[in-house]
């Protein structure tokens, strides 16, 4: 299947071709993506599943002009050099597919998502710290 409205992007020196999501797949990706990536609310298995679905609309452009569709975890690992590059590629795919992410709005959305994630992580760590610092038994009166 050909990519819909493909767009070439270069991320960390590597060229990728990003396609538009078909209607039903796009609805699923856009519905699941934000919530699955918020700590404590999200479920990593769902996050990974939806990332792989998103990446199935991305191709790595090879030096010979050919392309490899990043449709499996192994292909993503083989053609995306780091998790940082992967996050940038995911953001580019969301921006290409969502009009409300275009013109820098994706940066604002991702910044808000980052602040929310940091707040949740802080809440989790504070709760764990309070739990671990409580004494099992009160001090004896001796």
18: left (phi over 0), alpha (psi -120 to 50) or beta: beta
The distance between the two most distant Cα atoms of the chain, rounded to a whole number of Å, is: 80
Task: State which residues of the chain have pLDDT below 50.
Answer: none
What global pTM score does this model have?
A: 0.66
CA 113 to chain centre: 11
Q: What is d(CA 25, CA 54) in angstroms, rounded to the nearest whole number?
A: 9
φ and ψ at 128, to 5 degrees? Answer: -65, -40
Residues 15-47: tens digit of each pLDDT:
999 999 999 998 888 888 877 777 656 678 888
- Alpha helices in the chain, H assignment, sequence order: 23-36, 44-55, 73-79, 83-97, 105-133
């Amino acid at each position: 299947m050909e990519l819909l409205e493909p767009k070439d992007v270069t991320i960390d020196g590597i060229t990728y071709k990003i396609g538009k999501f078909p209607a039903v797949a796009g609805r699923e990706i856009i519905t699941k993506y934000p919530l699955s990536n918020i700590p404590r609310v999200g479920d990593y298995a769902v996050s990974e599943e939806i990332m792989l679905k998103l990446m199935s609309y991305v191709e790595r452009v090879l030096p010979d002009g050919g392309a490899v569709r990043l449709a499996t975890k192994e292909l993503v690992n083989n053609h995306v050099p780091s998790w940082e590059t992967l996050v940038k590629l995911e953001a580019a795919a969301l921006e290409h597919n969502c009009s409300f992410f275009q013109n820098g709005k994706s940066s604002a959305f991702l910044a808000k998502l980052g602040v929310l994630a940091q707040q949740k992580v802080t809440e989790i760590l504070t709760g764990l710290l309070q739990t671990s610092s409580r004494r099992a038994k009160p001090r004896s009166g001796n």
